[in-house]
Amino acid sequence: MSALELPSAVNLARAQFALTIVWHFLFPAFTIGLASYLAVLEGFWLRTGKAVYLDTYRYWLRIFAIAFAMGVVSGLVMSYQFGTNWSVFADRTAPVLGPLLGYEVLTAFFLEAGFLGVMLFGLERVGKRLHFLATCLVAGGTLTSAFWILSANSWMQTPTGHVVGPDGRFAPADWWAIVFNPSFPYRFAHTVTGAYLTTAMIVGAVGAWHLLRDRANPRARLMFSMAMWMAAVVAPAQMIIGDLHGGNSYQHQPAKVAAMEGHFESERRAPAILFGWPDAEAGLVRDRIGIPGLASLYLTHDLDGEVRGLKDMPRETWPTNLPLVFWSFRVMVGLGLLMIALGLAALWLRRHGRLYESPWLHRFAVGMGPSGLIAVTAGWTVTEAGRQPFTVYGVLRTADSVSPVAAPAVAASLAAFAIVYLAVFGAGIWYLLHLFNQVPHAHEPGPPTDQPIRTAGITPAPVLIAGAVADGRPLAQPAE
Amino acid sequence: MSLDLTLIWALLIATAVFLYVVMDGFDLGVGILFPAVRGKAERDVMVNTVAPVWDGNETWLILGGGGLFAVFPLAYATILPALYMPLILMLLALVFRGVAFEMRFRAATLRSQAVWDRSFSWGSYVAAFCQGICLGALVQGIRVEGRAYAGGWWNWLTPFSLLTGAALVAGYGLLGACWLIWKTEGELQLRAYRLARRLGYVTLAAIVIVSAAMPFLSAAFRARWIAWPNLVLAAPVPILVALLAWRFFVALDRRAEVMPFLCALGLFLLSYVGLGISLWPMIVPPAITIWDAATHPSSQAFLLAGAVVLVPMVLVYTGYVYWLFRGKVAAGAPGYH
């Protein structure tokens, strides 16, 4: 066997899916929360009339536009991926998944074509009320989009409401049961909350970054304060939601939970393993450090409860990459604990009136900026790698889902995706960082109204904005 | 008589694909015409004419792909693997082009803007050419055994598919040139008139050559077009093409501003209808009909309930955006007012 032999077509297709979806999801994970944040900011502005809310709103609206546009272009690829690489899966599951994804496309499309345009046209053109309505609808639209995608994904994890024909094709029997399948509520709540925390970490980091330069900047104070409230309240809540989600998975996907926890043997008073290295061949976790009884407590809510291990389940249902599932889970939980720590530290300092006077906290928050994105990616890795070796859990195997496409074709396209995505989204992220670095000042222009305005996700270049001002045509400022 | 949901869906998706082709067609065409227009100011105007709408235009492609998966999964599951290489190349080109579009506005120096300009133009060429290849490869027929694609990963590459690829580049260029006639003035508009005339000749030649080649591809196409009495029934299509072509060149001579674009749209519509006549009721020639490929009736009904509400809203909004950005884009102006 030569070392240069290509991996199998199915593994290449998996790698391609992982690459494209991880890049894609970075953007929605951020924009779902940011859309709601924008709605809250505009709502506060309408209620109080304070300019600081509008300025902060406009600062983030520019960023939202870019992130949203990148989500759309990367999403374009996703809608073709089931067909190019997973055609057997597409043929068999389409009667169930097709309408769910169809609704997602329609709502995303409607949102994109409709209200984001109004949002970007600017307040001056459409008036405050219509503009606020558009902001709320965009926020609602991102949540609706997430609703359908998570319904589809949850059905793949906990399929119900269908029948499987003799040809292996799924047919819908009960749409209610399909859409609201058993794991959907938990997954939806966990993902949306994760997106909110992701946004809070980024907004908090940007606020903290500017506080480190200028402690008095009211926009930076507002961002930082709101983000820290979010971390203090929502990060602990997320831990509870995550625990409920884990309990649901334990019920429906025991092999996944055993892989997450690193349990090979079924046992009472099962330990929560903090560190170690799962070895599927040997059937044990090497160098493990654990807390006795804790896993039994949080999985069965009984210190002596019996926790099922992988060895009690058929070997062919074990997740194919145990260390990946095991470690991704620890990364997610670890970052979640750090977020809770950040939130509580901020709460404590706020109580003592030192929220804006503690540079160490601001540095901590800057460091935590990407933590939400990493945690969300790790969480999805747990859930998706943990679903293996199935595409539809327990019913359709990944190896039986793949397209009849030659491995060299998949390898070539994988390489092309890797290069193009790195160049394209690398440039996009670089530009986002550049925007984060801009000081949020009074009279934020937001997306200017006398520039080319696109229906979705675009703002003009800063050089052009500067040019417009230099021409002696000041940018419109609404009454504040 | 029961309602034929499949037929409704076939019409809906055919409409979505057509809307995609003509709408993204002219904005891809603007990229295709970039090499023919050198000045930065003129290129800025060109891009500004499509800036408000291109993103919405592209979304129809997502709807086409998503709709095919949702309603005609067998077509989705056989066409996409068969066209694996050109489709992925097209998607990458569109991603690249979309971001180049954004970045050229943000480029700090003229040199970096030139790099993004080139990326934008190349992205447009590759996307258009690949779409044409996909069309040609689909028309030629896709080998299906059971419910899966049964050909190799280079089957799409034939002289015919290369021909349709080139034809679509010319056709999109024509749409782009006519769009520019409509949306610009002065020197750039004159350039667009000249380009439209040349691309008009090329596109018509391409329509004739592709139409002439079609009957040689399969007996089914021959029977559809040439045998009696179909000959009489199908004859209006080529006759209307000839009439429209005549109207198009007259409009160019008279320096009409909207008519050339309408004629170009008409040519696309007739070619599309001609394609429909050839293929009907196949969705994956030579063997899979729309009814073979259709999903479960319950799935069709479930999604249609939402589509009848949402699609008209999307159409109304799309029309509103085009109306809002009506009028000429002047050189030197930063954008719309």
Q: What is the DSSP string of A306-329?
A: EE--GGGS-GGGS-S-HHHHHHHH
- Residue to mutate among A24, A76, A80, A402, with most B CBs inside 10 A, is A80
Q: Which residues of A430-452 are buried (b: 16+ CB within 10 A; e: fewer)?
A: ebbeebbeeebeeebbbbbbbbb
Q: Over the stretch A366-385, which tens digit does the pLDDT of each residue have?
A: 999 999 999 999 999 999 98
Of A80, A175, A454, the CB nearest to B52: A454
CA distance A452 to A466: 15
CA distance A377 to A194: 10
CA distances from A312 to A176, A260, A263 (A): 33, 15, 10
CA distance A59 to A38: 10
Residue B165 contacts residue B227 (beta carbons within 8 Å): no
Residue A254 contacts residue A313 (beta carbons within 8 Å): yes
> Closest chain B residue to A179 measured between Cα atoms?
B302
A397 sits in which H/E element: strand A396-397
For A392, the 3-state DSSP assignment is strand
For A274, the 3-state DSSP assignment is strand
Q: Do A94 and B70 touch (CB under 8 A)?
A: yes
Task: Compute φ and ψ for A297, nearest 5 degrees.
Answer: -65, -50
Set of chain A residues whose Cβ sits within 8 Å of the Cβ of B292: none
Q: Tell me the residue type at A68.
A: F
Asked if omega into B229 is within 30° of 0 (cis), the reply is: yes
**What is the total residue count of chain A?**
480
The pLDDT, as a whole number, for residue B100 is: 82
Q: Do B51 and A420 touch (CB under 8 A)?
A: no
A220 sits in which H/E element: helix A218-252
Maximum C-alpha span of chain B? 66
Residues 6 or more apart from A299 whose CB is under 8 A from it? A246, A247, A250, A257, A261, A270, A305, A307
- Residue to mutate among B49, B83, B87, B91, with most A CBs inside 10 A, is B91
The alpha carbon of residue A58 is apart from the nearest alpha carbon of chain B, in Å, by 18
Q: Over the stretch B127-157, which tens digit does the pLDDT of each residue have?
A: 999 999 999 999 888 888 888 888 888 888 8
| Bridge-based pairing state of the strands A306-307 and A267-268 | antiparallel
Beta-carbon count within 10 A of B323 CB: 8
| Bridge-based pairing state of the strands A390-392 and B288-289 | unpaired
CA distances from A476 to A122, A289, A449, A450, B48 (A): 10, 61, 8, 9, 20
**Angle at Cα B255 formed by Cα B254 and Cα B259, nearest 5°?**
90
Below-70 pLDDT ranges, chain B: 1-3, 331-337
Q: What is the Cα gyration radius of chain A?
A: 24
Q: Do B303 and A102 touch (CB under 8 A)?
A: yes
Below-70 pLDDT ranges, chain A: 1-6, 109-110, 112-114, 121-122, 125, 445-480
Residue B176 contacts residue B30 (beta carbons within 8 Å): yes
CA A388 to chain centre: 20
The pLDDT, as a whole number, for residue A133 is: 87
> Closest chain A residue to B47 measured between Cα atoms?
A452
CA B199 to chain centre: 16
The pLDDT, as a whole number, for residue A5 is: 61
Which tokens hold the place of A136? 């709320």
CA distances from A185 to A58, A158, A377, B84 (A): 33, 12, 19, 36
The pLDDT, as a whole number, for residue A340 is: 94
CA distance B205 to A453: 37
Q: Do B52 and A416 touch (CB under 8 A)?
A: no
Q: Where are the alpha helices (DSSP H) in chain B?
A: 5-32, 40-50, 54-71, 73-82, 84-106, 110-140, 159-183, 186-217, 219-225, 230-234, 236-253, 259-279, 290-293, 297-324
Q: Do B73 and A468 touch (CB under 8 A)?
A: no
> Closest chain B residue to A455 measured between Cα atoms?
B52
> Closest chain B residue to A108 measured between Cα atoms?
B59
Task: Compute φ and ψ for B109, nearest 5 degrees.
Answer: -115, 160
Q: Do A76 and B62 touch (CB under 8 A)?
A: yes
> Closest chain B residue to A104 measured between Cα atoms?
B66
pTM: 0.86
The alpha carbon of residue B144 is apart from the nearest alpha carbon of chain A, in Å, by 11
Query: Which of B171, B197, B196, B168 has its CA nearest to residue B183?
Result: B196
- Cα torsion angle, B112, B118, B119, B120, sign: positive
Of A96, A431, A453, the CB nearest to B336: A453
> Closest chain A residue to B318 measured between Cα atoms?
A113
Q: Do B299 and A94 touch (CB under 8 A)?
A: yes
Which tokens hold the place of A122? 């600017």
CA distance B83 to B64: 15
CA distance A470 to A268: 74
Query: Which of B22, B3, B23 has its CA nearest to residue B321?
Result: B23
Residue pairs between chains A and B whose CB atoms are closer than 8 Å? 238
Which tokens hold the place of A134? 């558009």
Residue A78 contacts residue A27 (beta carbons within 8 Å): no
The alpha carbon of residue B49 is apart from the nearest alpha carbon of chain A, in Å, by 9
**What is the total residue count of chain B?**
337
- List Cβ<8 Å contacts ≥24 apart for B276-282: B276/B14, B277/B224, B277/B225, B277/B234, B277/B237, B278/B139, B278/B214, B278/B221, B278/B224, B278/B225, B279/B139
Q: Do A94 and B55 touch (CB under 8 A)?
A: no
